[in-house]
Every structure is written in C-alpha cells, then in structure tokens.
Structure 1
Amino acid sequence: MKRILLITALVVAAWFAYREIEGGGDASAASDRVVIPKGASMRAAAESLSVHDVIGSQRLFRWYTAAAGRERTIKPGTYQFPSGAGYGYVLDALVTGRGIMRTVVIPEGFDLRDIVPVLAKALSVPEDSVRVAVTDTTWRRTLNVPAPSLEGYLFPATYAFADGITARDAVKAMIERFESVWKPVWDERVKAMAISRHDAITMASIIEKEARKPEERALISAVYWNRVKKGMLLQADPTVQYALPQHVDRVFFKDLDVESKYNTYKYVGLPPGPIASPGEASIAAALAPADVPYLFFVARADGGHEFRTTFAEHQQAIVEIKGAARKARVPVRESRRP
C-alpha cells in the first residue's frame, strides 16, 4: 500500500513538474511586467518571475535552467510573458531578449519632429510607418482633429510597449493615454469658453513651449486668450519655430517672414493646430487662465517673465530687464512682441 502511495505521489509530482515546465493557460493574456536588472543572477530572476506568477517553482526553474546550461546568459530588461508560458519559453525569452518591453519617453513639449524618430528607433520600425500612423484619418476623425496630423494628441509620458508592437498600435496607446487624462470637467470649461477641444489643446501646446516656471502657466494663458479676445496677433515665438522648416533655438527677425498659418506674427488668432504635445498642467492652464488684464510678457534671465497690460509698460519692462542683465553681465533674449 505504501509503495502504491509513493508511486502515486511521484507520478503526481512528475505531472505537476511537467505542466509547470511545459506551461499552459490563456496565451492571449499577459503577465505583469517583470524587471530583470543588469547583472541579476538567475536566482534573482527566478524570484522576480515567481513573485509575478510567471513561474510556480523557483527551485524547479533554476534546475531547468542549469540542466539547459543557460543560467548565466540572461539579458536585462522589462519583460512581459504570455499567461501560462512554459519554462522553455521563459528561459528562451530571458536568453534572447524576446519579450523585452520597448520603453519610450516622450517629454512634455515634444512635437512630431521629435516624436517620430524617437518612436521609430524604440520600436525598431521605419520612420515612415510612424508618420503614416500619426496622420491616420481614422484617428483624426475619432478625435475630431481638423488638422493633417495628430500633433498635440500623443500624450507625453513614459510608455512600455511590447516587443513587436506596430507603430499604429503604439500611436493608439498614446492616444488612449491622452483620452484617459482628459477630464470631464474640461469639457465643461471648453463649452463655457465657447471654444473647441482642438482650440484648447492648441493653446495648451503654446503654453507648454513658453512656460519655464509652472506658476506662470495660467498667466501666459491669460495673455494669449486676452489677445485672442481683442483680435490681436498672438506673436508667440514657438509658433514661428514650428513653422520653420528646421528647428531653431532662437527666433530672429528674419524668421518672422516665414509664410505659414502657424506664424502668429502674420495671422490673427490661434494657429491651425497644436505645435507640440502639452502635459496635463498646460492643458489645465489653457482652460483656466488667470483673471488678469495682461497683454504682454517678456522673458527674464532666470527663465521667468514680466507681465504687463499696456505697450508702454511692456517697453519699460524690457528696458529694465536689459539694464539688469547688463549689470549682471547676463545675456537676455530679445523680445519680438510689440
């Protein structure tokens, strides 16, 4: 009787070990992300895999990797495995790097000229495939974007994309992040301000490029909305930078002649669309401008701005800032706003 029980126990143990090694379950589901640090041992990797329920037995997995002679060849990275993946699949992924998530960082203020090459490189896809995705008519129609691209709607964030993801699916994820960040209360603000969401994102993108100090976002928003209401030219340097065929760090007077609807030194009102991807704070500022009468601002050497209501006050602020800069021997950016 004892022999029968022992044999039964061994058979059951062998069956469970076989199931553990071979895997099973829903291949369409995925595990949590598992981070394998650089220089991690197989023991440490097995612990992480066990914590995230990728494997059931650390000891059995280490035995399997040792038997395969591949316990010292794992690649670091962030992985995601199919649910119920077998030990062979998991080990092969760790050794070859298959399954490593592609991490992409899109900073606030990046425009498509920045995003396209970064995304293409991270996904190992041609830049043209990303350009096609960001001009997709389906996405533009879904978002009600009256512009030729999704500029401004690829939300700036850190993304972890599964290995092998297409450019279109990556763009879809970025759009979904944008939609998840957009708040219902913002729809109410859009309605109250008698503007469109596209207008709001366009303004937010300009604020994103202008603001160096977070506390100034609402003030910059107020200046531009006040100018819109009065029918004044926005005269926003970042829109000229966007209109130029190549990026420039600083706008000169010669650049103001560029022929483009994005040149707010020539055309009244908002440009046709966003000029970059704004973050949540800039979107909030675009929809909640400060209650101030300012129509002008000029940059200080510390990255902040001086805000003024009249042209005479603005001119005086420029003189004072230049004088302070000369005393401190600090260069100051020339303002092109009237």
Structure 2
Amino acid sequence: MVLSVQACELEEQEAIWIRIPPGDPVEAVAESLAAHEIVRSARAFERFARMGRKHLGIKPGMYPFRARTPMGKVLAMLREGRPDAKRIRVKEGVWLSELMPVLGRTLDIPIDSLKLAVRDSALRAELGTAAETVEGYLYPTTYYVPVNATPLEVVRQMVDTFEARWRPEWDDRLAALNFTRHEIVTLASIIQGEGPLDLDRPLVSSVYHNRLSSNQRLQADPTVVYALGRRGRLYNKHYEVKSAYNTYRVSGLPPGPICQPSYHSILAALYPPETDYYYFVANAAGQHVFSRSYREHLNTIRAVRDSRSAADSKQ
C-alpha cells in the first residue's frame, strides 16, 4: 500500500508525490495511482503492467506524477526507479539561519556543509544576487529530497523551484519599475516579514515603493529583527544596531533578502497599487492601518494603543 501522498503546492498543484515501499504488489500500486487520478483505471493499468511481466521491474521510492499521465510513462518511471526521499517544508518567511538546522537534522547533513552550499559562488552568480548567500531564493513549498542528496543538490533543488516559479513577464515588469530581480526579491522579503496576511501585502508594497521613490528610508522593522539575528519584540536601542540590513540607519534596500518570500509577496513587490500612503501600523487583529502623513500616522498609533488597552481591560 502507499504510505504517503503529498500534493506539492506552488502557486498551483504541480505534482502528486507517491511513495511506493518495497514489496508493494502491482494491484496496490494500480489502486493507488487510480485513487489519486494519475491513471484512469486501476484494472487497465494492472493489465498493462503485467504485459511481458513488466510489473516485476517496478522499484520502490518516491515518485512525482501529474494527473492523467499516460500509462506507459507511469510504468517507465516506476521501472526506472527513484531513490527514497525525505519530506522538507520550507515555510514562507523563514530565515536561512532557521532553515539550516532543520535541513541538517532531517537529511542528516552537517550544517557546516549546508552553510557552504548556500554560499556557493556559481549558484549566486546564476541568480544574480549581490548578497553573500542565496537567502530569499529557496522557494517556500514542500520538497521531497533524495536521502543521498548532497548539500549543494538540496539547495539547488529549492533554487530551481524558485526559477521555475519566476514568470517570464515579470522580467518586463522589472524593466518598467527600473528594479533588478534581486532588488524585487529583497523588497518582497521585507513585505513578507511585515506579517502573514496576503490581503495587506499590496498596500505594504505601495508604502515602500513610495518611500523609495521619494528617497525616504524604508524604516522597516523586519530588517532590524534580521540584523539582530533573533526574533522578538523591538526596543528603542535595537533601532540603532549597526548593520547594512538596518533600514532605519541606511537608505534604500538592504544588500539582500531577509527571508524566503512567498509568491504573493513577490507579486505585491512587482505590482504595487498607486497610493499616497507612507506609513502603517498593525492593529490588535494583526491587520495594517495605513496613513498618508506622519501626523495621521501618530493619531493612528494612539488609536490602536487605546483600542488594545480597552481590550486588555475587559479581559
């Protein structure tokens, strides 16, 4: 029987992963393929596989399929075989420093080797990144990584997924915005860091585009958190941390992304709505309230604080 099935979701369902353990009979394989609509008929696939006793060559492993794959192609993949794989989830907004220990534990790979892989000069040159690592380019989704994969192969699988999700028309959009791809991915990572709500991302993007256009500092809290190297509440002293990533101290964008941005964050960075917003603050519900002027922003902050205090007093 099939032990696990995972639909690998990018912006759309791209592949259905099925693990076939050693000794699985062809009947069970056929039933599983049909149940997940990879083939139309379990009985037809079983008959097809038994022709010439080809079913005896089916190998165990983790296989990616698309719905309605021709039976000949399915059987060829099963006979060719794939190494067993381990499941890895790259979460939206995760830092490389947070991801490395997870990869190391799950794949039994030394963290030092992974740190070298994410700094690979050839890989960074292909991406056109000016940063020291491939931070921002490990696309957030679910991966099945072969158990014998090298550190560089693991990283490249994730970078290749980023490249596959990058749309050709976005290159034209970069030219219209006068941004490089690296700059947009960096901006997208800051937008990602501002919160989990996709609904807010376009307006957050508009604020940062407006600030960049008017030569104002971004003053983005997520960049300070990243510069500190730890997540948590920020205090006044933290905004003075000396780092090229601290956008309260430096103008423009930081040297590179601060996390792995989602598809929606990249989209927001590329297509900001036209607004005259320059400020925002999160309310008690986690949604952002946007302001056009600093005075309006201060009033909004007071209103948000009063609302939170009133809510706390009722508890």
TM range (shorter): 0.7 to 0.9
The residue that corresponds to 1:268 in the other structure is: 251
Q: CA deviation at 1:82?
A: 7.5
The answer as to 2:184 corresponding to 1:200 is yes
The answer as to 2:296 corresponding to 1:296 is no
Alignment check: 8 A CA contact 1:35 1:48 kept: no
Q: CA deviation at 1:257?
A: 1.6
Instruction: Give % identity.
Output: 36
Distance 1:256 1:330, change over 3 A: farther
User: Which residue of the other structure, out of 270, 276, 292, is the alignment partner of 1:309?
Assistant: 292
| TM superposition outliers: structure 1 runs of 4+ over 4 Å | 41-46, 49-57, 77-83
Alignment check: 8 A CA contact 1:211 1:220 kept: no
The answer as to 2:147 corresponding to 1:152 is no
* AA partner of residue 217 (structure 2): L
The residue that corresponds to 1:162 in the other structure is: 146
User: Which residue of the other structure, out of 77, 90, 93, is the alignment partner of 1:106?
Assistant: 90
Q: CA deviation at 1:308?
A: 0.2
In structure 1, C-alpha distance between the alignment counterparts of 2:77 and 2:105, rounded to whole Å: 25
The residue that corresponds to 1:180 in the other structure is: 164
User: Which residue of the other structure, out of 34, 37, 48, is the alignment partner of 2:29?
Assistant: 48
Q: CA deviation at 1:99?
A: 4.0
Alignment check: 8 A CA contact 2:174 2:270 kept: yes
Alignment check: 8 A CA contact 2:224 2:246 kept: yes
Distance 1:145 1:82, change over 3 A: same
The residue that corresponds to 1:230 in the other structure is: 214
The alignment of Structure 1 onto Structure 2 pairs a total of residues equal to 272
Alignment check: 8 A CA contact 1:212 1:304 kept: no
The answer as to 2:67 corresponding to 1:84 is no
Q: CA deviation at 1:51?
A: 6.1
Distance 1:275 1:330, change over 3 A: farther
In structure 2, C-alpha distance between the alignment counterparts of 1:272 and 1:315, rounded to whole Å: 30
Q: CA deviation at 1:193?
A: 0.6
Could you list the per-position Cα deviations for residues 22-74 of structure 1 after superposition, in whole angstroms to 9, with x for gaps in the alignment? xxxxxxxxxx953359xxx97778612786689956xx99x9xxxxxxxxxxx
Alignment check: 8 A CA contact 2:203 2:272 kept: yes
Q: CA deviation at 1:204?
A: 0.2
In structure 1, C-alpha distance between the alignment counterparts of 2:123 and 2:311, rounded to whole Å: 51
Distance 1:263 1:106, change over 3 A: same
Q: TM-score, normalised by structure 1?
A: 0.73
The answer as to 2:303 corresponding to 1:320 is yes
Distance 1:260 1:127, change over 3 A: same
Stretches of structure 1 that go unaligned for 5 or more consecutive residues are 1-31, 64-74, 91-97, 332-338
Alignment check: 8 A CA contact 1:155 1:279 kept: yes
* AA partner of residue 229 (structure 1): S
Distance 1:51 1:325, change over 3 A: closer
Alignment check: 8 A CA contact 1:218 1:288 kept: yes
Q: CA deviation at 1:122?
A: 2.1
In structure 2, C-alpha distance between the alignment counterparts of 1:135 and 1:46, rounded to whole Å: 46
In structure 2, C-alpha distance between the alignment counterparts of 1:220 and 1:171, rounded to whole Å: 30
Q: TM-score, normalised by structure 2?
A: 0.78
Q: Secondary structure at the match of 1:103?
A: strand
* AA partner of residue 235 (structure 1): Q
The residue that corresponds to 1:122 in the other structure is: 106
Q: Secondary structure at the match of 2:102?
A: helix
The residue that corresponds to 2:40 in the other structure is: none
Which has more radius of gyration? 1
* AA partner of residue 224 (structure 1): Y
Distance 1:207 1:33, change over 3 A: closer
Larger strand fraction of residues:
2
Q: CA deviation at 1:165?
A: 0.9
* AA partner of residue 115 (structure 1): L
Stretches of structure 2 that go unaligned for 5 or more consecutive residues are 1-15, 34-44, 65-75
Q: Secondary structure at the match of 1:102?
A: strand
Distance 1:133 1:191, change over 3 A: same
Alignment check: 8 A CA contact 1:294 1:307 kept: yes
